[in-house]
Structure 1
């Protein structure tokens, strides 16, 4: 089969790799200029900073084995263990996405506007029309639901329930310093912080930047409140950071907004298929019912991508 995957984050990349290995033709359509999704790293002068996933942990046997291969390839490393390992990209989290995309057909800077049923398959329309036997949508559920609602598809009542899922936004302030400062024991603070701050990371101490660059992650509630006031929000991020860390010698600063960062409620299955079309949804908010964590994370995206690929392989064989 020829399969189109909307979104080049962890779920999409893992599904693409498994489907391609099973002999299918796969294309990833990514609206950004790079793959990785929330495996995101940004350059700042001579340094860089992660501003999506800070690290990832491993519970499943499948990911444990894969991480060993990533470590052997120099793609990931253990940051610290307390009590279990936190893994990071050896040179930034987005390097994981780029590594996983090797050998895959990826269309960058391509936004899909509509999805339609076409001659037993699916047609995606963006800058051009793309035809597939099946499609996977890995965008956050609210974005996926909006795309489906605006498309000429027959959606059932069950399909339409997807629009009920709500995600919190997230602001991440990136603050480049002239002088290094100690942030926690390992470069991470995630407890006893001023109201509004979720965690603080020093990317220099994390081992991915030559320059000390702080990633200040704000809570969903705070980010919702400040979402449409970017300039004022950046100043407030600085103020709260100084309140926690003391005076900062700031060289530069940037603000990153994630509109759909964390699901307020998860989907209790690793994927969802539209009832009348060969279209599947997956992603970090699609959790296996026996998932021990109960929240979205890098590993849940990985598992969701694996599971949806398994299902489509069975679908192709039926």
Structure 2
């Protein structure tokens, strides 16, 4: 039995891990040079910054066991259970509304290190873009027993053959919103203490996170995320986005200095707006789809979705 998993984000890697543990031959194909998907960490000026998911939360017992293992290995740490909500310049005026919630977890080495841990021992081929999944199933013309698409619905539609109507119908209703993650490195920490902030009612910003606090090294680095409406009209315009975000963060936080360097990471499919009620898709063609669109948009959802699909496939193929 052989399975191809397309996409080396946390959902695809979790699915592959279950299948390999069940004794099934699995290849993971990833179009980018690294694993992780939106568990994305980029190194800027020699220091890593999280430029995809900002953190993760835990409520499921099985995922909790995985997270505890990550913590024991020094890969993950409890970060904060309280962020703040800002109305434009609220933080600059030292007026902020605490938003207590679940414990947010972070990764000292960046969230991508968690995906790298999941990928250990798996057969992963990087920089391998799949162009067609056809009945059979066939992956770029090669027959397999099953194929898993661990990716946003619009990307799955790009590769699914029109004859695979059930799989296409499962992802066709997904609506994803875009965002930029802009990393800003300052000469010093010149903002009031805060872990991260939801910026309400702003034309440009949705959130701003203190990456030095999140990582635990105290570096003067912020990562800001942009609204879907702002992003949709500026895809590809990285220089303009950086300038707009620099101005917006300066206004919101009341900063006295400009960043030394700034970088923009574009996410055309940053977050699903229409989560599915099912945990995954698996049809009679042995085509499966999983990811964080199959439930509330969270890292935990992606892991649960991939794990559940892996178990369903292992049961069917075994």
1:254 and 2:263 equivalent?
yes
Within a 5 Å distance, the mapping from 1:1-318 to structure 2 comes to: 1-82=1-82, 83-118=101-136, 122-125=137-140, 130-148=142-160, 151=161, 154-156=163-165, 159-160=168-169, 162-182=171-191, 184-186=193-195, 188-192=196-200, 194-207=202-215, 211-245=219-253, 246-275=255-284, 277-287=285-295, 295-317=296-318
TM-score of the two chains, using structure 2 as the length reference: 0.88
Q: Greater RCO between the two (CA within 8 Å, min separation 6)?
A: 2
Task: Give the drift of 1:227.
Answer: 2.1
Q: CA RMSD in A?
A: 1.9
Task: Give the drift of 1:53.
Answer: 0.7
Give the structure 2 partner of residue 291 of structure 1.
none
Distance 1:106 1:35 in 2: 9
| Structure 1 unpaired stretches of 5+ | 288-294
How many aligned residue pairs are there? 299
* CA distance 1:183–1:53, change in 2 (3 Å): farther
Task: Give the drift of 1:183.
Answer: 5.3
TM-score of the two chains, using structure 1 as the length reference: 0.88
Task: Give the drift of 1:114.
Answer: 0.8
Distance 2:22 2:58 in 1: 25
Distance 2:218 2:29 in 1: 33
Distance 1:72 1:106 in 2: 25
Local SS of the residue matching 2:314? helix
Equivalent residues of 2:170, 2:281 under 8 A apart: no
Distance 2:194 2:169 in 1: 47
Equivalent residues of 2:167, 2:287 under 8 A apart: no
Task: Give the drift of 1:158.
Answer: 7.1
Equivalent residues of 1:40, 1:94 under 8 A apart: yes
| Structure 2 unpaired stretches of 5+ | 83-100
Give the structure 2 partner of residue 292 of structure 1.
none
